[in-house]
Structure 1
Amino acid sequence: MNELVIMHDQQAVTTSLKVAEVFGKRHDHILRDISNLRKDIPNFGEMFLEGTEPDSYGRNRKMFYMNRDGFTLLAMGFTGQKAMSFKLKYIEAFNAMERQLVAKQDSYMIADPIERAKRWIEEQKALKETQKQLEIAKPKVLFADSVSSSETTILIGVLAKIIKQNGIEYLTVEGKPKPMGQNNFFKWLRENGYLISRKGDSWNTPTQKAMDMGLFEVKESTTLNPDGSVRITKTTKVTGKGQQYFINKLLGENAA
């Protein structure tokens, strides 16, 4: 139930992927329900924003961000005692996130001109000091970020974003420096023996070495095909230990 609500474009939102996970529903069914709402809601765009998120193979898949109003409309049809419990937790998560937003109100949102000027000066001083400390202690910040991100398993594509946000702009792929991104990160993992490079059903799944090191987890899910057959999907996720390992390893390579 971690991170039910996140910040996106300075707004408290959740995602269709998280709703599907928490309520135990198929994501394509959630997308279908959102699509049905689009037909009936004139201000659909104020509550739902289409986006993409990489799957375990680094391929972008369609998803939606939604604010509290969008979630409320979507979740109206979810029934049962368990569903009600999840709805209440979501509402509290939205409330908590919005309380944080109010507490961290930016200077430009303060009506009183004198108080606004004071807050702006304080913000600029804090920003300069933060930037100074980040430059001095950049390796420590990188390590701290890796620790905080290790609280749960994450997708490989998400880890690539975290690594780039933490200052690692390039990695060596095919003997050359390439921009950090999910596709090049997948290549790097295959080249360095962490993911299987052989094309087939096991492509981009962890090698035995990586599994023995505890760097990945593989989660299986079943999907019912229209013809009645069952398709098994394997999703590779990076463990907390793996997040720390790869960030520190890439930090060392970039420092060399």
Structure 2
Amino acid sequence: MREINVFQYNGKLLTHSREVAAMIGKDHKNLLADIRSYVEVLEMSSNFSPSDFFIETVYLDKLNRTKPCYHLTKKGCDMVANKMTGTKGIIFTATYVSKFEEMESKLKITQAPSYMIDDPIQRAQKWIEEQKEKQYLLVQNQQKDQKIEELQPKATYYDLILQTKSLLSVSQIAKDYGMSAISFNKLLHKLGIQYKQGDCWLLYQKYADKGYTHTKTHVVDSEKSKVHTYWTQKGRTFIYEMLKMENVLPVIERMAS
């Protein structure tokens, strides 16, 4: 007798009607007919929802044709098993119960906090995941805070003019000083202007609400995006004044002197 696979989808643990049919030695079309008859009865009752037992779906066969099938919950497997007798029914029941319990145990481990996991390796793996999640949330919160601070200067007409129209990347400003973006960012960090959080440079709090920067989110794909910091003309002037005090001048001024 074949095994069945149990998977999680939309918060439910499910198995496939084709696997159930193969395991109990029944033609898939005959099992579908049985399931449809169960669904008809359940639909006539106001006490039960058919989707708690069977979820209608489709699959592609070897010829790439769309064919009907069902996903079965544990309750759905119970209903199929209750119609069976003999050795096949007993083995099927023992198998799907074990598989569902195995998947439930795995989910408990993955969803439980690290301090509640007994196995030291699994506990360590979970702790690493938790730390990564905390770091990600920290970055998101700091970027959100900077966005909030950046919105404040828009209250004045002067700052409104300075923002949005002529945003500059750090690479463009660094070029004015004959430097690479990497070196320029490090210089601004050394001067206490900005710090790096994740992959994004953020202004220290005392500069965050001055209207010097504007952050933009660039979508990489459906699951990933990156936040980049751009400088306003006001921020460019600020950098110029700060670097001038350190005797760091733009290339054009060095050439003129």
Q: Could you say which TM-score interval applies, normalised by the shorter chain? A: 0.3 to 0.5
* TM-score (normalised: structure 1): 0.41
Is the radius of gyration larger for structure 1 or structure 2? 2
Q: Which has the higher contact order (CA 8 A, sep 6+)?
A: 1
